[in-house]
Amino acid sequence: MSRPRILLTRKLPTEVEARAMRDYEADLNTDDRLYARDELLARAADKDGLLVTVTDRIDAKLIAALPAEIRVIATFSVGYDHIDVAAATGRDVTVTNTPDVLTDATAEIAMLLMLGAARGATAGAATIREGRWKNWAPTGMLGREISGKRLGILGLGRIGQAVARRARAFNMTIHYHNRNRLRPDAEEGAVFHADAASLFRASDILSIHCASTPETRRIVNAETLALLPSGAIVVNTARGDIVDDDALIAALSSGRIGAAGLDVFNNEPNLHPGYLGLSNAFLLPHLGSATLETRNAMGFRALDNLDDFFAGRPPRDRVAP
């Protein structure tokens, strides 16, 4: 019996590719090129499934053009806003993601961003690298402590809860906003805010962990930034489109927002150039899940879902249909 044929749209960790080659007729992207739409469709022409990533725009037009043999799309990510789930459902194409496995790695990056933004790491590192550090000064390079501050978490899901657990080690008070309040045992003493505006007002540091949805896109904007306490810090490890770049850049430039730590951006990697000249913007190139352990786990989880699908079992992480 022939093995299922799958396309891996990006180069994945060595152990993940080895397993894919062992169990499938796998078409690898050995050069790690970003496939244009036409090339992706050409490579998908004789396949039974796709293993895609967040850099692939699997929109309705592309889904409509996929060969009828493709019945499953496994994404190497937790988020799946790059896939038109409604279009996939309309064609009865199963879509899966990889939750759980990147929680700790992303929470660690959120804490790094929080600390880097609060302590002026961007300006400090530039001073060292550019040879401008002359001596220690009692009033030089003053940042802010995060210890004892109010941490507002926009979206207290798996990653948000992991950040909250780490933040408690800094004696931070946890506040959060979700569509629905969590059970008391999941809250672990966190203060629930029924609306986002209330959360913003109570956040010395705002950490964004919600999904990108029509309701959350640009929820961090000029109006909501104005609700934050003066000098507040904004951290984003979720999705770039949750933040209005022009509004955040203006608030950082004026000092109304003290600092920002950002790992995700609109239109990445072509982020808004306004961030680049801001010494109070601590920027990372989407490193949230970038550990070998996590990327292996993501790949194995995606392959687990493909294994289930082709064995006739419901995939563990099915998000559509």
Is 268 among the catalytic positions? yes
Q: Which residue has the tokens 């203006």?
A: 250
Is 175 among the catalytic positions? no
CA 93 vs CA 104, 126, 169, 261: distances in Å? 30, 49, 44, 37
Strand order across the beta sheet in which 173-177 lies:
191-192, 173-177, 150-154, 205-208, 232-236, 257-262, 281-283
268-272-107 Cα angle (round to 5): 55
Please check whether residue 211 is in contact with residue 238, taking contact to mean a CB–CB distance below 8 angstroms: yes
Alpha-helical regions (H) of the chain: 14-23, 37-43, 60-65, 85-90, 103-118, 121-129, 158-168, 184-187, 196-201, 222-225, 245-254, 292-310
Catalytic residue among 268, 272, 316, 318: 268
Catalytic residue among 193, 209, 286, 295: 286
Rounded Cα distance between 124 and 57, Å, is 37
Catalytic residue among 119, 193, 209, 239: 239
Is 239 among the catalytic positions? yes
280-281-283 Cα angle (round to 5): 150
Number of helical H runs and strand E runs in the chain: 12, 13
Q: What is the DSSP string of 253-283?
A: HHTSEEEEEES--TTTTS--GGGTT-TTEEE
Active site residues: 239, 268, 286
